[in-house]
Amino acid sequence: MIADSPYSQDEFVLSPAGGAAAGIAASIAMLVLLFGLRPLSGLSVPDALERLGGVLTGGAGTRVERVLVGAMLHLLAGAVFGLLYAVSQRRLPGPTLIGVGVFYGLAIWVASRIIGRLFLALPLRQMVRSRAWFLACLLYGLCLSVWALWSENHRAALPAPALPKD
């Protein structure tokens, strides 16, 4: 730790609730990006969410119900990963926060490929192996770091401690 650093290294950049909210917003951004990349990637977001929801429900229910369950599961995972980001990210300068966020997205992509290979069905496994999913994971980490940077820039300033003069 640098002694003259203006950042308190024992403070989180986001509260746990702020991290969960950032994770939900970032997971929505992922879905929007995947939906926008559909002509290039051939991935169907509703089909992927339906398959994800079908894993949880065992294939029961209507298609709309499975899509909604899949979407809720995706948002819940986004909130959990955002919470993990919040409780592990300390206050840092802006460019460092952005770099850590992109690296966090890369780590989520790697973890999703490992988990996908071991536990997911073939259609979901194909989705997490796609370039579109890679870009979506990077976007997720970038959204988390931008939210953290915005939060850091709008944090209430604390008054400096008054030190006695010698």
DSSP string, 106-166: HHHHHHHHHHHHHHS-HHHHHHHTSHHHHHHHHHHHHHHHHHHHHHHHTSPPPPPPP----
70 contacts 50 by C-beta, under 8 angstroms: yes
| Confidence at residue 25, expressed as pLDDT on a 0 to 100 scale | 95
* Closest listed residue to residue 120, CA positions, set 71, 75, 30, 111: 111
End-to-end Cα, the chain, rounded Å: 27
pLDDT at 6 over 70: no
Q: What is the mean pLDDT of residues 154-164?
A: 64
Q: How many CB atoms lie within 10 A of CB 88?
A: 12
Of 5-19, 53-67, 94-108, the one with minimum mean pLDDT is 5-19
50 contacts 66 by C-beta, under 8 angstroms: yes
Domain ranges of the chain: 16-153
Confidence bin at 158 (pLDDT 50/70/90): low
> Mean pLDDT in the chain?
82
Q: What is the pLDDT of residues 104-142, one digit of tens each?
A: 999 999 998 888 877 766 767 777 788 888 999 999 999
CA 151 to the chain's CA centroid: 16
Q: What is the pLDDT of residues 64-79, one digit of tens each?
A: 999 999 999 999 999 9
pLDDT at 152 over 80: no
Q: What is the mean pLDDT of residues 81-101?
A: 80
Q: What is the mean pLDDT of residues 26-49?
A: 87
Distance CA 91, CA 21 (A): 18
3-class DSSP state of 90: strand
| Confidence at residue 1, expressed as pLDDT on a 0 to 100 scale | 46
Rg (CA), the chain: 19
Distance CA 104, CA 107 (A): 5
* pTM listed for this prediction: 0.79
| Confidence at residue 115, expressed as pLDDT on a 0 to 100 scale | 84
